[in-house]
Amino acid sequence: MSAVASPRPHPRQGFGLRRWWPLAIVALVVLAAIFAPWLAPYDPNQQNLIGRLKPPGTVSRAFHYWLGSDELGRDVLSRIIYGSRVSLVVAFASVILSGTVGTTLGMIAAYRRGWTETVVMRVVDVFLSIPAVLLAIITVAVLGPSLVNVILVLALTRWPRYARIAYSQTLSVATMPYVRLAALMGAGATRVLFRHVLPNIIGAVSVVATLEFGLMVLFEAGLSFLGLGVQPPTASWGSMLSTGRNYVATAWWVATLPGLCLFVLVLAVNLTGDAVRDRLDPRFR
Amino acid sequence: MSVTDVPVLAIDDLVIDIGGNRIVDHVSLSLGSGRILAIVGESGCGKSLTALSVLGLLPKAARITGGEIRLNGRDLLPLGEAALSDIRGNEATIIFQEPVASLNPLMRVGEQVEEALRLHRGLSANAARGEAIAMMARVGIPDASRRARQYPFELSGGMCQRIMIAAALICRPALLIADEPTTALDVTIQAQILELMRDLRGDVGSAIVLITHDMGVVADLADDVCVMYGGRIVESGPVEPIFAAPRHPYTKLLLATIPTLQGQRKMTLRTIEGMVPSAESWPDGCRFRTRCPLADEACVATPPLADVGPGHAAACWHSADVEALA
């Protein structure tokens, strides 16, 4: 960035459409997930064996396949709409769970120091040194695949990210006179951490959380693709990709369209994350 | 000001060591209710450690190896962390030198003033709110009920220090320790804050320990002075005799460093030769002797803190000759 002063406001400063349009896409997907029963033209699990693997626009018996049909004649559009529920529920729940656990542990480690710090941060190092996907696969294999287990597994593998950022942020905030003052005025550790430290580090944590959200959507799809996520017949973008893969040469829409949705959602989430980060970066305030 | 029999704060023969070095060396002082005691000295003379030890706020490396600290007659040193945190913010409290950094940037200032009340008196938010606003008005914050809803960044440094003082005094503590409360403020605001503190001690009745290196602030505010050098008290007593006729060469030189409006223009500012030696290299005997113009062989022995006037004591073998010092 050049040091020359520009007469125009910094393009990153505004709340303008330029930075925030990706949020509209995310909102669209969220609305689609919430109102799936009203938006989806058909039951996502209703089969029509005569209308198998029909291209987009085909009409077969009572079905009008706007985005084609899959190998059991189910409506791809309806399955995509219902599939967004799985993606979003898993991503939201795992981000909230891992964010809460990781942030709390990171804050405690940085505030308590001593052996608490050593134990927590070394465990974080261990977790970060294991490939997350591998850990997830092993855990799901042991626990058995289900929606709840996918959420637990993602939370289990992702909390160290939050712990690290919360740890480093807390270290610096904890040296501020107002935190020391609150502590010496008789406020207990819980009160100091949640009333004085947390509000001052939540910005950094929420940036990580937004970026993680996109990653969680991908992870869920990845686990479902491997058959370790939600089980058939529940629609999920990952499992649609997985089964659609077999027909990609003859019926490209079965795998391509959910893949495209995945791509657009993750891109939109990441761009939103960037906008959030720039918004919270003091240099751009 | 009535001085009760039991002093609010009595430090007796306090010794603090850090890693084998004696940082505070047999310091004794006492402070009656409503009195203001200034502890003066250069950086590293042990003034902050002495004051912080009262609240049990010493850095981890520091050890109190001797002496007694009594707050309203109660010995503080044997108390555990729980008992101490009951006292802090309630009976004894502290304000730091950076008012803006001492306030949580993301919390309304009113809430921060209330915090001690809620912690120590268990008041509800609503009950505490009224008292907080009254205290904010008392420390000279105009339109206190509106200001209470503002955040620290919306207030000036002087306003923030007023907020800190309101927060410190909200529980009407017996003792307020002010660690260089005006250092970060500009001179006109300094004067206002000092005036406020002078007003408040009559009102709230708190005894104040003022830690400073600014002799001007001392002359303005304090009743008594303790001059520290190298971890020891070198001179103590009421403000007037110490300013009029200091009996320790260090005090004399410290006063001489204050620039005056009289005299020649372009005169070089007076300084005290040399640097404060670090704790490892403090000399035997009188610790000021390496920088002292009066030093001779006698100073190799440690001078006792001896009475030189009513309530006035100095630790110098040559205290009679200080007056003649240019």
CB proximity under 8 Å: A 181-210 to B: 181-182, 184-187, 191, 195-196, 199-200
Q: Which of A107, A126, A114, A118 is nearest to A166 (CA)?
A: A107
Calpha distance B227→B257 (Å, rounded): 15
pLDDT tens for each residue of B195-239:
888 888 777 788 899 998 888 888 888 899 999 988 889 999 999
Question: What would the two tokens of residue B118 be?
Answer: 């809620």
Say what the pLDDT of residue B326 is: 62
- Partner residues linked to A75 by β-bridges: A69
H-run or E-run covering A24: helix A17-34
Say what the pLDDT of residue A282 is: 54
Is residue B257 exposed (0-12), middle (13-18) or buried (19+ Cβ within 10 Å)? Answer: exposed
| Contact state of A199 with B107 under an 8 Å Cβ cutoff | yes
| CB distance A86 to A224 below 8 Å | yes
Say what the pLDDT of residue B5 is: 67
Q: Give how far B116 is from chain A: nearest CA, Å.
A: 7
Contacts of A71 (CB under 8 A, 6+ apart): A52, A53, A243, A246, A247, A251, A254
Cβ pairs bridging A and B (under 8 Å): 50
**Which member of A182, A185, A200 has the closest CB to residue B106?**
A200
Say what the pLDDT of residue B48 is: 83
Q: Is A35 on the interface with B (CB under 8 A)?
A: no
Q: CA of A191: which chain B residue's CA is closest?
A: B119
Say what the pLDDT of residue B225 is: 92
Q: Which of B168, B13, B107 is nearest to A195 (CA)?
A: B107
State the complex-level ipTM.
Answer: 0.71
Say what the pLDDT of residue B122 is: 79
3-state secondary structure at position A47: coil
Q: Model pTM?
A: 0.75
| Contact state of B101 with A177 under an 8 Å Cβ cutoff | yes
The answer to whether the bond into A233 is cis (omega within 30° of 0) is yes
In this prediction, residues B23-32 reach a mean pLDDT of 87
Question: What would the two tokens of residue B297 be?
Answer: 């062989």
| CB distance A244 to A118 below 8 Å | no
Spell out which residues of chain B touch residue A181, defining contact as CB-CB under 8 Å: 94, 96, 102
| Contact state of B88 with A178 under an 8 Å Cβ cutoff | no
H-run or E-run covering A63: strand A63-65
pLDDT tens for each residue of B114-163:
888 888 887 787 888 888 898 898 888 888 889 989 988 888 888 888 89
Checking if the pLDDT of B100 tops 50, the result is yes
Say what the pLDDT of residue A14 is: 52
Say what the pLDDT of residue A2 is: 44
Spell out which residues of chain A touch residue B161, defining contact as CB-CB under 8 Å: none
Q: Is B104 on the interface with A (CB under 8 A)?
A: yes
**Dihedral angle, C-alpha A48, A49, A54, A58, nearest 10 °:** -40
| Contact state of A178 with B116 under an 8 Å Cβ cutoff | no
Say what the pLDDT of residue A6 is: 44
Say what the pLDDT of residue B2 is: 46
Helices (H), A65-197: 76-112, 114-129, 132-143, 147-174, 177-184, 189-191
| CB distance B14 to B67 below 8 Å | yes
**Which member of A177, A182, A186 has the closest CB to residue B86?**
A186
| CB distance B280 to B268 below 8 Å | no
H-run or E-run covering B227: strand B224-229
- β-strands B224-229, B232-238 pairing: antiparallel
Q: pLDDT in tens for each of the 285 residues of chain A?
A: 444 444 444 544 555 667 788 888 989 999 988 998 888 888 888 888 887 887 887 777 777 888 888 888 788 888 999 988 888 999 999 999 999 999 999 999 999 888 999 999 999 999 989 887 888 888 888 888 888 888 998 898 899 999 999 999 999 998 888 888 888 777 788 888 998 899 888 888 988 898 898 889 888 888 888 888 888 888 888 888 888 888 888 888 888 898 999 999 999 988 888 888 777 765 554
**Which member of B86, B102, B107 has the closest CB to residue A177?**
B102
**Which member of B88, B105, B120 has the closest CB to residue A184?**
B88
Spell out which residues of chain B touch residue A196, defining contact as CB-CB under 8 Å: 104, 107
In this prediction, residues B100-107 reach a mean pLDDT of 87
Contacts of A137 (CB under 8 A, 6+ apart): A223, A226, A228
- C-alpha distances in Å from residue B81, one per residue of A213, A262, B7, B16: 42, 54, 23, 18
| CB distance A40 to A33 below 8 Å | no
Q: Is A178 on the interface with B (CB under 8 A)?
A: yes
| Contact state of A181 with B85 under an 8 Å Cβ cutoff | no
Single-letter amino acid, residue A249: A
| CB distance A87 to A154 below 8 Å | no
Checking if the pLDDT of B3 tops 50, the result is no
Q: Give how far B198 is from chain A: nearest CA, Å.
A: 23
Cα angle, residue A185 at apex, residues A183 and A187 outer, rounded to 5°: 50
Contacts of B200 (CB under 8 A, 6+ apart): B138, B139, B165, B169, B206
Q: Which of A40, A193, A50, A43 is nearest to A111 (CA)?
A: A193
Q: Write the DSSP string, A184-198.
A: HTT--HHHIIIIIIH
Mean confidence (pLDDT) of chain B: 84
Spell out which residues of chain B touch residue A186, defining contact as CB-CB under 8 Å: 85-86, 88-90, 116, 119-120
| Contact state of A186 with B120 under an 8 Å Cβ cutoff | yes
Q: Which of A184, A213, A229, A200 is nearest to A274 (CA)?
A: A213
Spell out which residues of chain B touch residue A178, defining contact as CB-CB under 8 Å: 101-105, 112
| Contact state of B104 with A178 under an 8 Å Cβ cutoff | yes
Calpha distance B312→B173 (Å, rounded): 28
3-state secondary structure at position B39: strand
**Which member of A179, A186, A200 has the closest CB to residue B119?**
A186
